[in-house]
Amino acid sequence: MIVDTGANVTIMREDIAQQLNEKIIWTPPCVTLQTVIGDKIPIIGKMNIKITFGNNAYSHTVYVAKITDNFILGLDFLEKYNFILDFKDSSLHSTTEDVTLFRKGVSEIKPCYRIIASSDFTIPARQELILKGYTDQEKNFRLEVLEFPDFENFPKGVLVASTLVDIAKEAIPVRCANVSDKPKIIKKGKVLATCTPVTYVERSSFQTSNVSSENLTEDLLKTTELTQKQRSAAEKMLREFKELFPKSSEEFGRTNLTKHRIDIGNPPPIKQHPRRLPFAKVEEFILDTDASHANIGAVLSQEIYGQERVIAYWTEMKYGKTVPVVRQITASATSHLDPWSDEEVREAQMKDPDLKPIIERMELSSVRPSWQDISSLSPGIKR
């Protein structure tokens, strides 16, 4: 069949019309057909036939004449049944179906195409992947159905899903599943799948309808293995809280109807071996293990804006982090190992004639005194 938008009428060849065993309607001799180059073709008559595309049959009156082609589908048929010719996709569209066309003169239409792997792929055991393939053959059809390749060297244990694909695109997705217990390797250039051309596509004409929540409740309870008592309780719960369930895909998303608490637990600290603190970090942190006045085993602090601030602490019970706060000694502390308090140590140091001038000089200035300033002092202070 030839689709010719330049033909005003649909024409059938004489011998094809005789095979249909239909009555040919006589036409006056004055009615003739004229070709593009001006030649006239005598008409034998008319015939009422049914032209079938896919699952639909269309009644139409065609002219019977002595022509070269078997059948010429003219503009009268396309306009009558609202067919649209898409030159870009090489297809004929109606209200319910799409018919694939190809150019006249194509001598061979291959019934099977090969899809080749674009690179090396490894499919893990018991897993499914979508692999990228392509075809190096002439693309006379756009839509095709992928099928399992019938080749002996194809990896055993690998299955290929039947899928409708558009081979006009550069990358053709091929869904493969490895059902074996070992990984399978598909090398670049190997055949992933074969595909068969699709010449007819019927468009779905169904309409979405609003689904009642009452029907959903009944259908849901029918598919569950519950006792009558459990089914009654579930139905009561679904009807009571039916406003909480979405009725369409547009209602999915966040909700503010309820809140829940996430329990992160109380895991113990991770035990790590002691490591030496780098010299570059020695002055940045202060580790004080003499914090018994607060019942803390060790305190890690850092000097921030000129003040010592606590950043972490550790005891035998737990380890914790805290917001940096100023650390200050609020009370003196003693123990059986060190019975001297801070005040007692200070008082004893100030009574020592050698330590007193040293402490006073250190508190007044951090600059080391010159030899002339301490030449008159005792040898113990000079050292």
pLDDT at 33: 85
pLDDT at 217: 63
DSSP-derived pairing of the beta strands 56-65 and 11-13: parallel
8 Å CB contact between 135 and 114? yes
- Residue 238: other Cβ atoms inside 10 A: 18
CA pair distance 375, 369, nearest whole angstrom: 10
8 Å CB contact between 305 and 320? no
pLDDT at 179: 93
pLDDT at 277: 63
pLDDT at 319: 46
Per-residue DSSP letter, 280: G
pLDDT at 48: 93
Place of tokens 């060849």: 13
pLDDT at 27: 84
CA pair distance 323, 302, nearest whole angstrom: 12
**Alpha helices (H) in the chain, listed in sequence order:** 14-19, 75-80, 213-222, 228-240, 342-351, 355-364, 371-374, 379-382
Which residues, in sequence order, are bridge partners of residue 93?
Answer: 84, 98
pLDDT at 322: 47
Does the pTM of the predicted model rise above 0.85?
A: no
pLDDT at 130: 92
Sites in the chain below the pLDDT cut of 50 = 208, 292-293, 319-331, 333, 336-337
pLDDT at 178: 94
